[in-house]
Chains A and B, each alone.
Chain A
Amino acid sequence: MNRVFRRCVSYLMCLGLVVILTVFSLSSVSVYSQKISPLTTEIRGVWLTNVASGVLFIPWGINRAINQLSALNFNTIYPVVWNRGHTFYKSAVAETTTGSDTQPFIKFMHGGQDVLTKIVTLAKNKDLRVIPWFEYGFMTPHYSQLARRYPDWLTIGQEGIKSIQDAPPEEIDNSLVSKLAWLNPLHPQVQEFIQGLILEVVRDYDVDGIQIDDHFGMPVQFGYDRFTIELYQQEHQGKSPPIDPFNSEWMRWRADKITDFMAEIYQAVKAVKPNAIISLSPNYQAFAYKYYLQDWENWVKKGLVNELILQVYRNDKSSFIAQLEQPSVKLAQSLIPVEIGISTGTVRNPVKMAQVTEQVQAVRDRNFDGISFFYWESLWGYIVPESPQQRRKAFFEMFNAKTVRLIKPKKL
């Protein structure tokens, strides 16, 4: 009797379970798709990186990220394609040069499939712009194949200093990369390599452009390698570079060489795909020039940049606003679309949603063209102070208006 009773209860409960799951799965459709708001042209981007983030490695990480971003009315992603001497797409150029066509772990996790192809396909279905991000620029770890195979491609400081303490914010504590080598941006073979990587991305993928950032320059203390010294001597009647790395003429000479290379990249990209956006995400002009010889204000004036995203990763409100009101930023605003890069936090520096909201408002108040967040994992992952659902709700409230897709630079 007891057995029969238990069996009846079991059947009834299983039936109940089916009913419950059916009812609740139907009612749990995302709330984010239910509101209708006016359209806006605001650019809303996010950087997807491989460091301190599983998004590119977890099998469904990319799908989930793109679906969530689309549901919350984001319209641009900047997926990493160049980091620590590896590419995150199948690169013939990298294979020839370093012996590896893709970063090995991501290749393994995706069963050999090309990650960038997957990102582009998924993003296009959701009407998101894809602008691959060459995060490491001229940086490469000493242990990378690139640094080991081509030591003459590296630039150095005085007295043979070979490294610089310059890790991206998300890997500031990673001792493996805390000291990095620097490819010489003036070296023709380095230029050919970097340009080759950029061009194959533009040529082989349906991307909206490419992005370089603050690592696309040369630390001011570098430039004392043999190649650069000889080049300088050729152009200065045999004179050696000044001992002071901050010597204004020596800084200008190196910065102009980098600007020349930037112009080459611009022309080469436009020759392959005229509508491709050249996006740049630098630090503020004074810092970028003084410490990385990256004269981006000049790049903007020369028309070598189609879209600028100024990195303003600051917690202090007045300091944040002061960065937005710099003359170089205003000048860029008058020429090209300018966005502001806002930090949503890192493990070491979690950022409250209230600060993100406040900074977005400050950007909007000053009529910038958009915002980009650094980085995906701290939008609504567990490395933030609030719960993921609370963060998403706050982002949706900020971005409840859908956007019109911007394809061409609007002011050039």
Chain B
Amino acid sequence: MPFAPENTRFSFRLLWTFATFGGFLLSLLFIEVGEKPDIGVVEAAIGGFAIALPQACLLKEPVFGIRWILSSLLGWSIITAIGIGAVGWIVPSTQILPLRILSGAIYGALGGLGIGLAQWLAIPQAMAWRWVFVSSASWAVAVPVGSVVGMILHRLTQLFLGEVMGLAMTWLLVGILIGNAHKLRS
């Protein structure tokens, strides 16, 4: 599977990041951010769809795009159903910083693993396992960082909006970190 030229790769990464972040903003029209029990499977599926849709628009083949959407939707639904939680839309109940970092890393890694495994069904086999690892690692980093930012903003402003901004940070990081996405175009 050939790599895209450097400049193309960069622009695709940028577009991918915008699509991911834009998808999150779009999802906020349908999903209300809350604590873990507040976000059910239906909300997670809707959120997964909102994220995957703009991402799929960047993929070359329509059939591949449809598979991408379905697998993402599936991934988000499953991790929510089995109790990991819809990590992209939930806020930890704890206000203790080390706990937030630890739980964010663990649940982020597990959630990323679940989503990556589901998306494994949609992507070329050659990069499948690497994708699963990248997904898990990216979420393991992005969730605690966003969670800490969210907690600080929440405390400073006394607005729950701070937590939502923390989640936006998470999605931005995920968009950036999952840089290997450019290979999906091939």
Contact indicator A21/B160 (Cβ below 8 Å): no
Of B78, B158, B160, the residue contacting A16 (CB under 8 A) is: B78
Contact indicator B159/A347 (Cβ below 8 Å): yes
Task: Give Cα distance in the complex from A58 to B30, angstroms.
Answer: 11
Contact indicator B121/A388 (Cβ below 8 Å): no
Of B35, B40, B78, B164, the residue contacting A28 (CB under 8 A) is: B40
Contact indicator A28/B121 (Cβ below 8 Å): no
In chain A, positions 1-36 with a C-beta closer than 8 Å to chain B are 2, 6, 9-10, 13-14, 16-17, 20-21, 24-25, 28
Contact indicator B78/A20 (Cβ below 8 Å): yes
* Binary contact readout A285-297 vs B (1 if CB under 8 angstroms, 0 otherwise): 0000000000000
Query: Within 8 Å of chain B (Cβ to Cβ): is A382?
Result: yes
Query: Within 8 Å of chain A (Cβ to Cβ): is B61?
Result: no
The residue of chain A having its C-beta at the shortest distance from the C-beta of B44 within the complex is A24
Contact indicator A24/B35 (Cβ below 8 Å): no
Task: Give Cα distance in the complex from A10 to B125, angstroms.
Answer: 14
Chain A residues in 8 Å Cβ range of B22 = none
Chain A residues in 8 Å Cβ range of B35 = 387, 389-390
Of B32, B45, B163, the residue contacting A21 (CB under 8 A) is: B45
* Binary contact readout A143-166 vs B (1 if CB under 8 angstroms, 0 otherwise): 000000000000000000000000
Contact indicator A21/B42 (Cβ below 8 Å): yes
What's the nearest-Cβ distance from chain B to residue A102, in Å? 24
Task: Give Cα distance in the complex from A384 to B154, angstroms.
Answer: 10
Query: Within 8 Å of chain A (Cβ to Cβ): is B91?
Result: yes
Contact indicator A21/B34 (Cβ below 8 Å): no
Query: Within 8 Å of chain B (Cβ to Cβ): is A256?
Result: no
What's the nearest-Cβ distance from chain B to residue A281, in Å? 26
With A383-B161, A387-B33, A388-B32 already in contact, the answer to whether A24 and B81 are too (CB < 8 A) is yes
Chain A residues in 8 Å Cβ range of B94 = none
Task: Give Cα distance in the complex from A384 to B160, angstroms.
Answer: 6
Task: Give Cα distance in the complex from A6 to B128, angstroms.
Answer: 12
The residue of chain A having its C-beta at the shortest distance from the C-beta of B125 within the complex is A2
Query: Within 8 Å of chain B (Cβ to Cβ): is A386?
Result: yes
Contact indicator B121/A13 (Cβ below 8 Å): yes
* Binary contact readout B147-163 vs A (1 if CB under 8 angstroms, 0 otherwise): 00000001001111101
The residue of chain B having its C-beta at the shortest distance from the C-beta of A9 within the complex is B121
Contact indicator A387/B91 (Cβ below 8 Å): yes
What's the nearest-Cβ distance from chain A to residue B93, in Å? 9
Chain B residues in 8 Å Cβ range of A384 = 159-160
What's the nearest-Cβ distance from chain A to residue B86, in Å? 12
What's the nearest-Cβ distance from chain A to residue B112, in Å? 17
Query: Within 8 Å of chain B (Cβ to Cβ): is A350?
Result: yes
Query: Within 8 Å of chain B (Cβ to Cβ): is A385?
Result: yes
The residue of chain A having its C-beta at the shortest distance from the C-beta of B155 within the complex is A385
Query: Within 8 Å of chain A (Cβ to Cβ): is B53?
Result: no
Contact indicator B78/A387 (Cβ below 8 Å): no
Chain B residues in 8 Å Cβ range of A2 = 125
Contact indicator A10/B38 (Cβ below 8 Å): no
Of A13, A20, A25, the residue contacting B118 (CB under 8 A) is: A13
**Residue from the set A17, A25, A384, A390 with the largest chain B CB neighbour count within 10 Å:** A17
18 additional A-B pairs beyond A16-B78, A25-B41, A387-B34, beta carbons within 8 Å, are A6-B121, A13-B121, A17-B74, A17-B77, A17-B78, A20-B41, A20-B78, A21-B42, A24-B81, A350-B158, A350-B159, A382-B161, A382-B164, A383-B160, A385-B154, A387-B38, A388-B160, A390-B35
Chain B interface (Cβ < 8 Å from any Cβ of A): 29, 32-35, 38, 40-42, 45, 70-71, 73-74, 77-78, 81, 91, 118, 121, 125, 154, 157-161, 163-164
Identify 10 residue pairs between A and B in the complex whose beta-carbon atoms are under 8 Å apart, listed by A's number: A16-B74, A17-B74, A20-B78, A24-B42, A25-B41, A383-B161, A384-B159, A384-B160, A385-B159, A388-B33
